[in-house]
Structure 1
Amino acid sequence: MELQLLLTLPWIAGLFCQTELYTFKHVKVFASSTSPNEGENVTLKCAVCGGNSSANYHMYLCKNGVAVQMQKLTGDNDAIFALTTITSRESGNYSCVYANKKIPYSEVNSTGKYSIIIQVKSENKSLPGTLTTTLAPDGQKYEVIQLILILIAILLALLGMCYIAYRKIYKTILFTFPTVNTASADNTLDDNVLYYDHTGQPVQDIYDS
């Protein structure tokens, strides 16, 4: 029993030696912009405020509590991190922590005492006159556009048919003349109008000999 205990103790001691507890110090973080547009560049500055003038240390930029970049610095130098040509995937909570030794990114899990939120704005510009529907998939947008084009085509066809019918009615009225009976029931001409025969003589009754 005692022999087994003696053999086990070194293994337990080695296990504790392999387990490291990292201590992170929090620093303030500043950003050139907290609401940039997609495609822009953002600079993040992690400021060390004294107390570390001669030591070497490693500064970590964390996004949502996970390290994404690291810089090795000396003294009171501030760490400058750059996010270039950012997209909406870079949106998140950013903070800075540092330690006196280099630590794997996977072991740096800290949101930091000071943090800022960067929200990347995605540009969704539409051309003037382009019909779009809010919060609708692209397939539905195309269906709406096709439906409107069909309705416009039907409307134009109806207007064309109405125009053709109008032209036909107009021509019928214009070129159709009613038969005018110039003689009265007693075969006499209008007394108020003076008529002339083929000889040029005025007549009152068309049947006078």
Structure 2
Amino acid sequence: LFYILILAFIDIAMDKVESNSTGVFHALDIITMNEKVLKGANVSFHCRFPNEEKLNLTKYTFYLCKDGTCIAMRKWGGESGVTFSIKNVTRYDSGNYSCVYSGQKRALEEVTVPMGNPFIFLQILDNDNDGMKWKTTKQVFPSFVVVSVLCALGSIAVLSVAMALLITLFKHMKTLKMEPGSVY
């Protein structure tokens, strides 16, 4: 029980802040109007302090991260949060987006996303109705499959007709055979 409590405490602490030699990064709430958008559209993410919590620092840097890697940064100017935009999205923009902030400005590659950070999964759809591509196929069954199925059903009369059709088809194909040296 003691070990479970310690693990739970560590997990809760990691949800809030993760630090390393480059600085301390705090989780932010992330909001977007649509989590599914069409290819070519513009997407905006609004990153804000959780529960309107603000520390006594006057300068913050907000970071937008995709799949755990930070891709953009913006200085905070005192408003409720910061908005990041991605224009003309492609399928490569699909992924998990999250936001973090720090009192110190760091290079994007130095930013560490806390474990358990809130995220939004953005899905980019093709420009059709539902993002799925439908393909219609025509399947042609060979005559022997039809004959086998009919035989299995015990329909001798239909089997006779099918055999007659096959024989006629065979004779017709034989008459179409060209002799060597014929002009086409």
Higher strand share: 2
Structure with the larger RCO, 1 or 2 (CA within 8 Å, 6+ apart): 2
Answering whether residue 28 of structure 2 is matched by residue 27 of structure 1, we say: yes
Distance in 2 separating the partners of 1:85 and 1:98: 26
**1:1-209 residue pairs with structure 2 within 5 A?**
20-48=21-49, 49-52=52-55, 55-110=58-113, 113-123=117-127, 132=135
SS at match of 2:55: coil
% identical aligned pairs? 29
Distance 1:76 1:53, change over 3 A: farther
**Kept in 1: contact 2:23–2:104 (CA 8 A):** no
How far apart, in 2, do the equivalents of 1:54 and 1:104 lie?
A: 19
Contact 1:58–1:100 (Cα < 8 Å) also in 2 = yes
Letter in 2 for 1:47: R
Equivalent-residue separation in structure 1 for 2:60 and 2:135 (angstroms):
53
For the residue of structure 2 that corresponds to 1:24, the secondary structure is strand
Distance across 2 between alignment mates of 1:86 and 1:72 = 24
Retained in 1: the 8 A contact 2:22–2:110? no
Larger radius of gyration: 1
Q: CA deviation at 1:20?
A: 2.9
- What SS does the corresponding residue of 1:79 show, helix, strand or coil? strand
Contact 1:53/1:74, CA 8 A, preserved across alignment: no
Match of 2:92, SS? helix
> Structure 1 runs of 4+ off > 3 angstroms?
131-134
Q: Note the residue ranges of structure 2 that are not aligned, 5 or more in a row.
A: 1-19, 140-184
Whether the 8 Å contact between 2:25 and 2:112 is mirrored in structure 1 is no
SS, match of residue 119 in structure 1: strand
Q: Which runs of 5+ in 1 are unaligned?
A: 1-18, 126-130, 135-143, 145-209
Query: TM-score of the superposition, structure 1-length normalised?
Result: 0.48
1:37-77 Cα offsets, whole Å, 9 max, x none, are: 10111110001223236511100000001111110013343
Contact 1:50–1:76 (Cα < 8 Å) also in 2: no
Structure 2: which amino acid aligns with 1:39?
A: G
Aligned residues: 115
Q: TM-score, normalised by structure 2?
A: 0.54
